[in-house]
Structure 1
Amino acid sequence: MAATLVLLLFSFASFATFNCLASEITSEQIKFWSENVRNKIPAPILKKLSPLSKNDCYYYSNMMSKNAEFHADAGFCSLAKLACDSALEDVKTISNRYTTEKTYNNNGATLDVQKNEDPFSFFRLSILKKGNLVHLPNLQESLSDTAFLPLQIASQIPLNIREITKLFPGSAAEGATKETIVNTLSYCNAAAIKGEVKSCPRSLEEMISFSKSVLGGKRLISLTSKNNQGSNTNLMVKNVKKFNTDKIVACHEAYLPFAAFFCHSLSSTSLYSVDLVEPKSTGAPVNTLLAICHMDTSPWPENHVAFKILKLRPGEGEACHWFTQVDLAWILDRESM
């Protein structure tokens, strides 16, 4: 339980201030979270809650359901905090870091998703021992700062490039954003591998509901990393705590014009809380990161980037990776069982 409390990454004061200024939809999303999740919303996720009012939600939901020609114009995108500009400079082609499927473009050709992969993004379980030096990958968030759409609107958006392009022509028509969206959708629509359950929730409510359905409990605990400090540097492992669970749903931010996640649960997975300090330091941790280890990689495709980095073949060993502070791991709240 102590490890769980370490990772309840949320400032109550900032939450209270934010809640006083929250929109009606934000308040509903906070209520849904509190009814289904024991701990508070992590600050990076709190920033993604919808700024729309109920009237906005009702209006745009009706427009989408009744008007086949509806598309997200600049006014709606600004109001809902969406990414609707194809000229965004900070959008990068999404990597194959968290998924286990081959990725294809619209013409069926395999995409080169490994070219920008951080060589430290995967590691072996043996690294997680007290006193070991580890080189952290880049833990900075690289995707646009977008908000979740309300469930009433998000649930109407099909996860295919034709519909996304129609609804969000400014972001999906061409350029780097379209390529990134295509990659996201290919992950979402690919078949699950053996032992995997997966989904691409389009809203906060869908993410929580999917996680509950996979884990089979009444309430959840949400876990994530403390912050992005230590990115691209060497730190020393001070403490390692393993969570006593074998059922985990991992959700990683995916790029769409609105906040969205790629969520999946794989068999034979272990979850750890890792305190990291400066080398030879006896002081407080620089960071507390969440690490997940997939112990059975035998169903993974041979071209998975983890095998290139770890110099393994499928089934030859486990593959571990860190969570950023935007990634979420869901486990059951055993007190509510």
Structure 2
Amino acid sequence: MDHLLSLLSILVLAVGVTHAASPTELYWRSVLPDTPMPNAIADLIKHSTDVGQLALGHPVTKAMATSTKLRSYFFLENDLHDGAKFTLHFTGTGSRPSLLTRQEADSIPFTTTKLPEILSRFSNEPGSHEANAIETTLEECEEPAGYGQIKKCATSLESMLDFTTWALRTRDIDTVSTRVGKEDSSEQQYNVVGVREATDSPDWVVCHVQPYAYTVFHCHTKGNSTAHMVSMVGEDGTKAEALAVCHDYLDGPNPKILAFRGFPAKHGTGNVCHFQPQDNILWIPKSTGTFLAS
């Protein structure tokens, strides 16, 4: 009996120190019980800050990228092949701004008509690089979707899940995202050693993290886009399985997007592609296509 009581005490102590699931994690489990949460999303939740602390004035500098760095992620689809070389910097999700719960996100305006209030809330000076990035993201989110696409800017994981399951008409979903051998590898040249389709499904949704004061996902359905998994090896030996999404230049991207300024359309050279950071996600319905990225 004493032995049994000791075992029970150990179990009670173990339960007491178990990580309590956040509301966001619980919502994931309720909506996608058979879909493992990607590590990148779990890391975003782990490193997130309470909205009250955000309101004290944490600038979005870490979420910003220079146009030069962004341009290094963009290329033409015809240039994607074995032996191609790309200079890239894959950063860990710890450098991203907070992922808010739906309740927190819904308490903050998200519209260009409230831009001065938003900038003041996050202590960003009008005209600053951070303020311009926030304004650009809001403008992009208010633009109509590309031809044949449905889009939504989701300000919380809950909102992203709702849009994805609605757009794909199922909760039986796989996820695909970029995987890198190092948590935060240095900027370096990567050599492509393999390219394959991410999926043969006729329907999918991709969600890109936007530069903002907190994590905002720009999600859209497939439309005329294509998705590839690109196997690469860096100069220091770092291996990466990078998700690349390619868009028809005429249907998107929006020419206002910073990364596309000065990137000329070249007819006959293929769609415009961009590599996805580790916290961007491709959502694929299991019942309508084969999962090819693993």
> TM-score of the superposition, structure 2-length normalised?
0.73
**Which whole-Å CA distance do the structure 2 matches of 1:303 and 1:335 have between them?**
34
For residues 84 and 275 of structure 1, what CA distance do their matches in structure 2 show?
Answer: 42
Q: Which amino acid aligns with 2:111?
A: N
3-state SS of paired residue (1:39): coil
The question of whether the paired residues in 2 share the 8 Å contact of 1:84 and 1:257 is answered with: no
Superposed, 1:179-328 pairs within 5 Å as 179-227=132-180, 232-242=187-197, 243-277=199-233, 286-294=239-247, 296-300=248-252, 305-306=259-260, 308-309=262-263, 311-313=264-266, 317-328=270-281
1:153 to 1:45, Cα distance in 2 relative to 1, 3 A: same
Question: What secondary structure, in the 3-state scheme, does the structure 1 residue paired with 2:277 have?
Answer: coil
CA distance in 1 between partners of 2:149 and 2:267 (Å): 15
Given that residues 171 and 257 in structure 1 are in contact (C-alpha distance below 8 angstroms), is that contact kept between their aligned partners in structure 2?
yes
Quote how far apart the aligned CAs of 1:24 are: 4.3
Equivalent residue number for residue 152 of structure 1: 103
Distance across 2 between alignment mates of 1:174 and 1:307? 24
Can you list the C-alpha shifts for 1:172-191, whole angstroms capped at 9, x where unaligned? 55254333221211111122
Q: Tell me if structure 1 keeps the 8 A contact 2:62–2:95.
A: yes
Secondary structure, aligned partner of 1:187: helix
Alpha-carbon offset, residue 171 of structure 1: 0.9
Among the aligned pairs, what percent are the same residue? 20
1:77 to 52, 61, 64: 52
Q: Is the 8 A contact 2:201 2:288 kept in 1?
A: no
Does the 8 A contact of 2:230 with 2:242 survive in 1? Answer: yes
Which residue of structure 1 lines up, in the alignment, with residue 26 of structure 2? 28
Q: What SS does the corresponding residue of 1:237 show, helix, strand or coil?
A: strand
Q: Deviation digits for residues 144-164 of structure 1, max 9, x if unmatched?
A: 533332223433444214546
Which amino acid letter does the alignment assign opposite residue 137 of structure 1?
Answer: L
For the residue of structure 2 that corresponds to 1:136, the secondary structure is: strand
CA distance in 2, matches of 1:225, 1:22: 27
Question: Aligned match of 1:124 in 76, 87, 101?
Answer: 76
Residue 200 of structure 1 aligns to a residue whose secondary structure is strand
Q: Is the 8 A contact 1:157 1:163 kept in 2?
A: no
TM-aligned CA distance change 1:147 to 1:50, over 3 Å: farther
CA contact (8 A) 1:302 1:314 kept: no
* Matched AA of 1:272: H
For normalisation by structure 1, the TM-score amounts to: 0.65
The alpha-carbon distance between structure 1 residues 169 and 332, as it changes in their structure 2 partners (threshold 3 A), is same
Stretch deviating more after TM superposition (236-245 or 135-144): 135-144
Unaligned ranges ≥5, structure 1: 1-16, 53-73, 96-114
* Root-mean-square deviation over aligned CA pairs: 3.8
Matched, 1:135 2:86: yes
Q: CA deviation at 1:316?
A: 5.9
Contact 2:32 2:172 in 1 (8 A): no
Distance of aligned partners of 1:87 and 1:206 in 2 relative to their CA distance in 1, 3 Å threshold = closer
Bigger RCO of structures 1 and 2 (CA < 8 A, at least 6 apart): 2
Measured in 2, the distance between the counterparts of 1:20 and 1:26 equals: 17
Q: More displaced, 203-212 or 261-270?
A: 261-270
Which runs of 5 or more residues in structure 2 are unaligned?
Answer: 1-14, 290-294
